[in-house]
Structure 1
Amino acid sequence: MSQNNRILIRGDGRYVVYGIHSHYKLDLPPKLKSQLAPEEFQYTVGQINALLANKIPKNFITLLGGCSLCLCSAGLTLGPSLLFNKIIKKKIKRILDKENKRMYNGLGMHWSLVKEKFGLTVEYGLLVEFIQKAELSPD
């Protein structure tokens, strides 16, 4: 899909744990202003932010605890933090799938969680792709 048919929403949170930010901006991107109501955008991103506000601090504490014990356990204490990260990504994808079915697919959009490289870091962002509706041809 071309770059014009997609919008990437980057996180702006204070914490970044394994590439997942602790917050996404609630401001509607300019490219979406004519296609989506600000309230709907805020509702979707607000659901993700609520999940992240609950899960990221716990994952961060688990990561710090795992790092402090890493030498004693040969790195095995980082496992719970990696598992929490996988669960967070799965829950974000579940929220986005539900929202796609509820509204966005009908508007010709599809939201997903994607891993993107920004400079030297790899982060997860919210990708909004515009779906081309199949045109009906007369028989």
Structure 2
Amino acid sequence: MEDFDEIYEEEEEEEEDEDRAAEEQLLKYAPDPVVVRGSGHVTVFGLSNKFESEFPSALTGKVAPEEFKASINRVNSCLRKTLPVNVRWLLCGCLCCCCTLGFSLWPVICLSKRTRRSIEKLLEWENSRLYHKLCLHWRLSKRKCETNNMMEYVSISHLPGDRTLLV
């Protein structure tokens, strides 16, 4: 009976290895996702105060530049409403940080999380309204900055044939 269990476990491991190899093969030939980075002058907890509205060349022929610009403007409008409040709370939290042992930073952390969620909901609405019909999927993702070791939130679109795993 013990021998049977050992054989079964080995077969599962072989299947997992085959699945992993197939997934790596798909990732190897998949096109790179389209990344829209933050271009604002204020960044709070990795979220910039606006995204680049320049039309990416990789989306040519897949979506109209006007639709893309309208979507980015909606996201930027949401950021324009919420980020100034986050900055004020961050300044107040930093001023009171020593007296409150860091607890004064909790409001800005919660506000930043709420801002991220509202942008994610907005992107899901945009996806269901337009982009899923065009076989595109926009999402907010955390990536390492190109210029330093900090992390930033970027908007990523997965193109048709893109087999990257969505987290």
TM-score (ref. length: structure 1): 0.91
Counterpart Cα distance in 1 of 2:83 and 2:34:
24
Match of 1:137 in 2: none
Larger radius of gyration: 2
Q: Deviations over 1:5-33 (max 9, x none)?
A: 41111000010000000011211111112
Partner of 1:113: 140
- Contact 1:15–1:22, Cα closer than 8 Å, also in 2: yes
Equivalent position of 1:92 in the other structure: 119
Aligned runs of 1:3-42 on 2, under 5 Å? 4-42=31-69
Matched, 1:46 2:70: no
The one-letter amino acid of 1:25's match is E
Matched positions, count: 133
| Residue aligning to 1:125 | 154
- Hey, what's the Cα distance between the residues in 2 that align with 1:58 and 1:5? 35
The residue number in structure 1 matching 2:82 is 55
**RMSD, aligned α-carbons:** 1.5
Which consecutive residues of structure 1, in runs of 5 or more, have no partner in the other structure?
Answer: 133-139
**Aligned residues of 1:114 and 1:126 also touching (Cα < 8 A):** yes
Runs (4+) of structure 1 exceeding 6 A deviation are: none
Q: Quick check: 5-14 or 105-114, which moved more?
A: 5-14
Q: Deviations over 1:54-96 (max 9, x none)?
A: 1111101100110000000000000000000000000000001
Q: Which runs of 5+ in 2 are unaligned?
A: 1-26, 162-167
Percent identity (aligned): 30
- Per residue, is there more helix in 1 or in 2? 2
* Paired residue type of 2:159: F
